[in-house]
């Protein structure tokens, strides 16, 4: 310290600190008296009194400038289709269930999976559909009428040359049958074969013209322009599917828009990894996409879909193992927690399979939306629970 | 919003000598690593010198996490909670995983009580190279009788290998428990608007962390916290009330989010959060609901949860979710591609194939290890995608698999020309046979079937 130090300053400083160390200091004063009681008096004053005061808590609010787009699925008679209802998906103004910040307009939507041929299903799923596995129309009906699914997805997997090599024309008939069987909006999926899917989805889109289905999916690994054209020509919504990469998602969305898709005719699927098998990647990619959209990135403002059914790929979901407890409960919980976690990350549309899982998930999202009236519980009683 | 501290802010207080003694090339690099919490201040020898005391203290304060790190228990019997710095895991990483407590109460018979305590002690699941455990025992006083509580705490203390949480609304009951276990730094649950002074003084006397509770009212919660702080208490944990039903659940979720935002954005009540999914049992619902509530709380932002169910079907998804969410996103998604050996394979041993997605690889590797199969595993560079996704996305095709076979040196290791590929990549089997000249067998879709496949099929094939 090179400046001369005012003694009153020094005493003030002593009141603020518990200990001071003076280095290389010359004290220039006729007489230096530090009266200790004075210092401790200052100190005592600075210690807060133990007391309870009613304080305010300020909820910190984010200032989002963007909004997620609201996409309509299904078309009623008035709009050239035959669906009985239209489902709105997306439209968020804040992260899911941050009700203190803004109320998001639409509840998450659940679509049940239906396949066009008998496939291997995990036990806890199969038992609900055992008798309809060879009849996609009946299968779809069961999903809607008995289990209350908002939508169904008809997966045309039998078109894969290594499965049955069903023709595109025949697959389109299956789509027509499903449209007859249920009156909710539907999604149409290919087999995942990049060579054959464009043709299959084109024919399916044509057969469902005007119904505003979701066409699942356009991706970088196939001729996405054909898929995009089919969606534009026959009035459908495209599912833009990428593999856990936000930049790829942005790029594909742009390509699809360049190919003529309007931004409100698109849903994104950044890939769902199951609980225990990379769920955190999907969780963070979806959070990043949703935040980017809310912050105004126009290429990432479409609603997000999750192939939650992938949860059943986890052996902990389907495998019988006494060390893991009852599979009939564990499996549905595995699917429900996969859905719930991705819902909190920002997914809007959930492709699911198990009725118990759907029930668990739907019940909790109704609560989180904040509208479900219920009696208030005196939660302090939990300590006394016997 | 509080200003985020950058490497430059840190650098200003460092010696700026680039001496390299910390292991980093420059002081600037050390500053970046400090922010990432990859190194400690104490790694810099100069900062320990007397002339750097002030810098050291300033840095300590600057680098203190927005959510205080609180330790429950002592030594081997302890768990660290909080210490968080961000509201979204992709911004950096979450640091201390949500600790999980299982409850007991003081009117349980001895047999049941000790069985539950041992269950917590022994609970261990191995997943992808990590042991997933339960972390604490929460003792509830249902009797409201101090003596009975003290007896129960003493029984649990003898048996438990985990730290404890003492739960009662009555300060005298809590004190009875603390007399038994106070020296082991249990967590005290809970101080309220009415009991903050008595409970707070117990926390001071026994030097234990204490939970501040207010039912759904964040202003009241903050007031209780500040009252506890005024007693000189530093280790506080927040319980904004865990509602599990209807719109009250929505409110609880909002309070958890608001608390974490306040801590990180405003440096306001920056303490760990506690949730009680066990409350699902109060409304007559069971383990399903409890597990779902636990999942919400692990996703958004509980640092400690108290559970009631010991049902493994409910706990397994919950601890797996915790492992997922608390995985460090800075770690690479892919492992190195190439040929791996398991055990001491010879020229007749089986050859298997998988992708280089870390999770796929570790799952397959752990299945091979636990099956005790001696073999070669050819890891294909699929740019970090799993089998299904890489086949669909063209990252795993016959061309790529053939290249891997030719470049890996496997043809020098084995005499045979037979490879087992993942069940989900069956599509490439025909082309791969043509291109490579190897015989291709489509293996199980799930690697848990490797042992059986090798035992039943490979032996016959070879």
Of the candidates A89, A96, A110, A111, the residue with the CA atom closest to the CA atom of residue A266 = A89
The distance of B414 to chain A (nearest Cα, Å) reads: 31
Nearest to A275 among B300, B321, B388 (CB): B321
The distance of A79 to chain B (nearest Cα, Å) reads: 35
Residues A111 and A152 sit within 8 Å (Cβ to Cβ): yes
Measured CA to CA, the distance from residue A332 to residue A358 in angstroms comes to 8
Measured CA to CA, the distance from residue A278 to residue B89 in angstroms comes to 14
What is the token pair recorded at B367?
A: 């299945």
- Select the residue from A55, A163, A307, A329 to test the B interface by mutation, using most B Cβ atoms within 10 A: A55
In chain B, which residues have their Cβ closer than 8 Å to the Cβ of A288? 88, 90
Q: Which residue of A has its CA nearest to B128?
A: A276
Of B254 and B454, the one with more pLDDT: B254
Do B144 and A384 lie within an 8 Å CB cutoff? yes
Give the per-residue pLDDT at A47: 54
Give the per-residue pLDDT at B335: 85
Helix A327-345 vs helix B287-299: crossing angle, to nearest 10: 30
Residues ≥6 apart with Cβ < 8 Å to B218: A57, A59, B240, B255, B258, B259
Range A190-207 average pLDDT:
96
- Select the residue from A21, A48, A53, A57 to test the B interface by mutation, using most B Cβ atoms within 10 A: A57
pLDDT higher than 70, residue A48: no
What is the token pair recorded at A320?
A: 């019988």
Q: What is the helix (H) or strand (E) element at residue B298, kind and residue range?
A: helix B287-299
Q: What residues form DSSP beta bridges with A215?
A: A188, A238
Mean pLDDT, chain B, as a whole number? 94
The distance of B23 to chain A (nearest Cα, Å) reads: 31
pLDDT digits (tens, 9 = 90+) for B2-58: 567 889 999 999 999 999 999 999 999 999 999 888 899 999 999 999 999 999 999
The distance of B123 to chain A (nearest Cα, Å) reads: 11
In chain A, which residues have their Cβ closer than 8 Å to the Cβ of B107? 386
Whether a cis peptide bond, with omega within 30° of 0, leads into B190 is: yes
Interface contacts A/B by beta carbons within 8 Å: 244
Do A59 and B262 lie within an 8 Å CB cutoff? yes
pLDDT tier at A11, thresholds 50, 70, 90: low
Range B452-456 average pLDDT:
88
Largest CA distance in chain A: 108
Q: Which residue of B has its CA nearest to A276?
A: B320
DSSP A55: -
Of the candidates B230, B233, B101, B87, the residue with the CA atom closest to the CA atom of residue B165 = B101
Superfamily grouping for domain A70-383: Dihydropteroate synthase-like (3.20.20.20)
The distance of A108 to chain B (nearest Cα, Å) reads: 15
Give the per-residue pLDDT at A128: 97
pLDDT higher than 60, residue A36: no
Measured CA to CA, the distance from residue A358 to residue A362 in angstroms comes to 6
CA B419, B423, B424, B428 torsion-angle sign: positive
Nearest to A333 among B276, B308, B313 (CB): B313
Whether a cis peptide bond, with omega within 30° of 0, leads into B301 is: yes
Measured CA to CA, the distance from residue B31 to residue B257 in angstroms comes to 30
The distance of B440 to chain A (nearest Cα, Å) reads: 16
pTM, two decimals, is: 0.87
Measured CA to CA, the distance from residue B227 to residue A56 in angstroms comes to 13
How many H helices and E strands in chain B? 18, 17
What is the token pair recorded at A229?
A: 């054209």
Measured CA to CA, the distance from residue B297 to residue A218 in angstroms comes to 35
- Select the residue from A46, A108, A276 to test the B interface by mutation, using most B Cβ atoms within 10 A: A276
Largest CA distance in chain B: 80
Of B384 and B150, the one with more pLDDT: B150
From the CA atom positions of chain A, what is the Rg in Å? 30
Lowest-pLDDT choice from A19-23, A95-99, A204-208: A19-23
pLDDT higher than 60, residue A186: yes
Residue B236 has phi, psi (to 5 degrees) of -120, 145
Measured CA to CA, the distance from residue A98 to residue A90 in angstroms comes to 15
What is the token pair recorded at B400?
A: 């790529």
Compute CA distances B11 → B7, B14, B28, B41, whole Å.
Answer: 6, 5, 6, 12
Do A194 and B218 lie within an 8 Å CB cutoff? no
As a whole-number percent, the residues of chain A with pLDDT over 90 amount to 81
pLDDT digits (tens, 9 = 90+) for B305-362: 999 999 999 999 999 999 999 999 987 678 889 999 999 999 999 999 999 988 889 8
Residue B348 has phi, psi (to 5 degrees) of -105, 0
Measured CA to CA, the distance from residue B274 to residue B277 in angstroms comes to 10
Of the candidates B13, B25, B24, B20, the residue with the CA atom closest to the CA atom of residue B55 = B13
Do A97 and B251 lie within an 8 Å CB cutoff? no
Give the per-residue pLDDT at A8: 56
The distance of B357 to chain A (nearest Cα, Å) reads: 10
Do B314 and A344 lie within an 8 Å CB cutoff? no
Give the per-residue pLDDT at B313: 98
CB atoms within 10 A of CB B197: 17
pLDDT higher than 80, residue A19: no
Do B392 and A192 lie within an 8 Å CB cutoff? yes
Measured CA to CA, the distance from residue A105 to residue B5 in angstroms comes to 36
Q: Which residue of A has its CA nearest to B288?
A: A333
Do B193 and A284 lie within an 8 Å CB cutoff? no
What is the token pair recorded at B110?
A: 């001895």
pLDDT higher than 80, residue B1: no
Do B392 and A371 lie within an 8 Å CB cutoff? no
Q: Which residue of B has its CA nearest to A334?
A: B317
Give the per-residue pLDDT at A35: 47
Three-class SS of residue B164?
strand
CA A128, A134, A138, A143 torsion-angle sign: positive
The distance of B332 to chain A (nearest Cα, Å) reads: 11
Do A325 and B313 lie within an 8 Å CB cutoff? yes
CB atoms within 10 A of CB B412: 7
pLDDT digits (tens, 9 = 90+) for B60-109: 999 999 999 999 999 999 999 999 999 999 999 999 999 999 999 999 99
- Select the residue from B215, B267, B317, B361 to test the A interface by mutation, using most A Cβ atoms within 10 A: B317
pLDDT tier at A38, thresholds 50, 70, 90: very low
Residues A282 and A254 sit within 8 Å (Cβ to Cβ): no
Nearest to A60 among B168, B243, B265 (CB): B265
Lowest-pLDDT choice from A294-308, A327-341, B148-162, B320-334: B320-334
Do B89 and A374 lie within an 8 Å CB cutoff? no
Nearest to A55 among B223, B299, B363 (CB): B223
Of the candidates B162, B164, B161, the residue with the CA atom closest to the CA atom of residue B150 = B164
What is the token pair recorded at B54?
A: 């002030």
The distance of B413 to chain A (nearest Cα, Å) reads: 32
Do B299 and A344 lie within an 8 Å CB cutoff? yes
Give the per-residue pLDDT at A292: 98
Residue A376 has phi, psi (to 5 degrees) of -80, 140
From the CA atom positions of chain B, what is the Rg in Å? 27
Of the candidates B318, B307, B322, B250, the residue with the CA atom closest to the CA atom of residue A364 = B250
Domains of chain B: 7-63 (1.10.15.40), 69-325 (3.20.20.20), 338-461 (3.40.50.11600)
Nearest to B317 among A330, A367, A380 (CB): A330
pLDDT tier at A1, thresholds 50, 70, 90: very low
Q: What is the helix (H) or strand (E) element at residue B206, kind and residue range?
A: helix B196-206
Cβ-count burial of A98 within 10 angstroms (0-12 exposed, 13-18 middle, 19+ buried)?
Answer: buried
Q: Which residue of B has its CA nearest to A60?
A: B262
Locate the domains of chain A by residue range: 70-383
Q: Which residue of B has its CA nearest to A342?
A: B299
DSSP A106: S
Do B317 and A325 lie within an 8 Å CB cutoff? no
pLDDT digits (tens, 9 = 90+) for B239-298: 999 999 999 999 999 999 999 999 999 999 999 999 999 999 998 889 999 999 999 999
Mean pLDDT, chain A, as a whole number? 91
Give the per-residue pLDDT at A350: 98
pLDDT digits (tens, 9 = 90+) for A98-142: 999 999 999 999 999 999 999 999 999 999 999 999 999 999 999
Give the per-residue pLDDT at A357: 98
Range A3-14 average pLDDT:
54
In chain B, which residues have their Cβ closer than 8 Å to the Cβ of A192? 392
Nearest to B227 among A51, A280, A341 (CB): A51
Residue B351 has phi, psi (to 5 degrees) of -120, 125
What is the token pair recorded at B321?
A: 């979710």
pLDDT digits (tens, 9 = 90+) for B387-424: 987 888 788 999 999 999 999 999 999 999 999 999 99
Range A162-170 average pLDDT:
95
- Which residues in B6-97 belong to E strands, given as ranges? 69-74, 77-82
Residues ≥6 apart with Cβ < 8 Å to A22: none
Give the per-residue pLDDT at A4: 47
The distance of A273 to chain B (nearest Cα, Å) reads: 9
Give the per-residue pLDDT at B255: 98
pLDDT digits (tens, 9 = 90+) for B197-240: 999 999 999 999 999 999 999 999 999 999 999 999 999 999 99
Measured CA to CA, the distance from residue B266 to residue B383 in angstroms comes to 40
Helix then strand then coil, in percent of chain B rounded to 5, is 45, 20, 35
């Amino acid at each position: 310290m090179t400046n001369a130090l005012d003694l009153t300053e020094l005493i003030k400083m002593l009141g603020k600190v518990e200990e001071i160390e003076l280095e290389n200091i010359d004290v220039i004063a006729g007489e230096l008296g530090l009266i200790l009681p004075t210092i401790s008096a200052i100190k005592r004053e600075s210690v807060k009194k133990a007391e309870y005061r009613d304080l305010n808590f300020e909820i910190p609010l984010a200032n989002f400038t963007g909004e997620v787009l609201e996409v309509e699925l299904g078309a009623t008679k008035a709009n050239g289709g035959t669906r009985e209802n239209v489902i709105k998906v997306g439209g968020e103004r804040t992260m899911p269930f941050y009700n203190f910040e803004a109320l998001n307009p639409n509840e998450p939507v659940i679509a049940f999976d239906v396949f066009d041929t008998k496939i291997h299903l995990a036990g806890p799923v199969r038992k609900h559909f055992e008798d309809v596995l060879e009849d996609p129309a009946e299968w779809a009906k069961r999903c809607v009428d008995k289990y209350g699914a908002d939508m169904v997805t008809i997966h045309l997997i039998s078109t894969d040359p290594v499965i049955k090599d069903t023709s595109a024309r025949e697959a389109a008939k299956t789509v027509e049958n499903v449209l007859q069987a249920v009156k909710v909006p539907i999604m149409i999926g290919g087999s995942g074969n990049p060579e054959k899917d464009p043709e299959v989805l084109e024919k399916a889109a044509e057969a469902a013209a005007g119904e505003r289905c979701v066409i699942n999916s356009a991706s970088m690994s196939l001729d996405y322009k054909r898929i995009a054209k089919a969606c534009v020509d026959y009035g459908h919504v495209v599912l833009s599917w990428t593999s856990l990469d936000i930049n790829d998602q942005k790029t594909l969305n742009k390509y699809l828009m360049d190919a003529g898709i309007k931004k409100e005719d698109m849903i994104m699927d950044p890939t769902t990894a199951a609980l225990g098998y990379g769920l955190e990647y999907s969780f963070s990619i979806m959070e990043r996409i949703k935040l980017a959209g809310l912050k105004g990135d126009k290429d990432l403002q479409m609603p997000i879909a999750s192939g939650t059914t992938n949860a059943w790929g986890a052996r902990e979901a389907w495998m019988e193992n006494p060390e893991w407890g009852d599979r009939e409960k564990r499996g549905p919980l595995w699917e429900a927690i996969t859905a719930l976690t991705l819902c909190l990350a920002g997914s809007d549309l959930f492709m699911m399979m198990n009725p118990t899982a759907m029930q668990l998930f739907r019940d909790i999202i109704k609560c989180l939306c904040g509208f479900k009236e219920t009696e208030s519980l005196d939660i302090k009683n939990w300590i006394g629970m016997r | 919003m509080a200003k985020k501290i950058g490497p430059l802010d840190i650098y200003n207080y460092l010696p700026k000598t680039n001496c390299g003694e910390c292991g980093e090339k420059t002081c600037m690099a050390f500053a970046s690593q400090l922010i990432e919490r990859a190194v400690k201040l104490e790694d810099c020898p100069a900062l320990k010198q007397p002339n750097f005391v002030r810098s050291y203290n300033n840095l300590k304060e600057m680098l203190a996490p927005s959510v205080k790190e609180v330790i429950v228990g002592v030594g081997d019997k302890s768990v660290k909670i909080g210490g968080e710095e961000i509201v979204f895991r992709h911004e950096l990483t979450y640091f201390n995983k949500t600790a999980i407590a299982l409850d007991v109460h003081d009117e349980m018979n001895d047999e049941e009580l000790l069985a539950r305590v041992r269950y917590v002690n022994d609970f261990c699941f191995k997943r992808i190279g990590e042991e997933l455990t339960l972390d604490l025992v929460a003792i509830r006083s249902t009797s409201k009788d101090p003596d009975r509580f003290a007896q129960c705490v003493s029984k649990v203390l003898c048996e438990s290998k985990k730290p404890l949480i003492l739960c009662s609304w009555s300060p005298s009951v809590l004190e009875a428990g603390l007399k038994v276990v106070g020296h082991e730094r249990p967590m005290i649950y809970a101080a309220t608007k009415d009991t903050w002074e008595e409970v707070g003084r117990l926390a001071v006397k026994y030097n234990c962390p204490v939970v501040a509770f207010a039912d759904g009212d964040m202003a009241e919660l903050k007031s209780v916290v500040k009252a506890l702080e005024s007693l000189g208490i530093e280790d506080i944990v927040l319980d904004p009330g865990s509602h599990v039903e209807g719109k009250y659940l929505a409110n609880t979720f909002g309070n958890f989010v608001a608390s974490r935002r306040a801590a990180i954005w405003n440096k306001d009540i920056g303490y760990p959060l506690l949730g009680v999914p066990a409350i699902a049992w109060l409304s007559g619902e069971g383990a399903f609901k409890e597990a779902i509530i636990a999942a919400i709380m692990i996703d958004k932002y509980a640092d400690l949860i108290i559970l009631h169910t010991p049902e493994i079907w409910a706990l397994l998804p919950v601890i797996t979710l915790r492992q997922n969410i608390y995985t460090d996103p800075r770690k690479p998604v892919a492992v190195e591609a190439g040929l791996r050996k398991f055990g001491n394979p010879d020229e007749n041993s089986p050859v298997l194939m998988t992708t280089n997605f870390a999770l796929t690889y570790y799952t397959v590797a752990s299945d091979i290890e636990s099956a005790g199969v001696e073999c070669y595993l050819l890891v294909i560079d699929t740019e970090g995608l799993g089998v299904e996704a890489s086949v669909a996305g063209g990252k795993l095709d016959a061309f790529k698999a053939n290249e891997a076979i030719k470049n890996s040196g496997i043809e020098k290791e084995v005499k045979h020309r037979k490879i087992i590929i993942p069940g989900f990549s069956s599509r490439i089997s025909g082309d791969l046979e043509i291109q490579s000249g190897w015989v291709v067998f489509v293996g199980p879709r799930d690697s848990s079937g490797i042992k059986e496949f090798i035992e039943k099929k490979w032996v016959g094939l070879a």
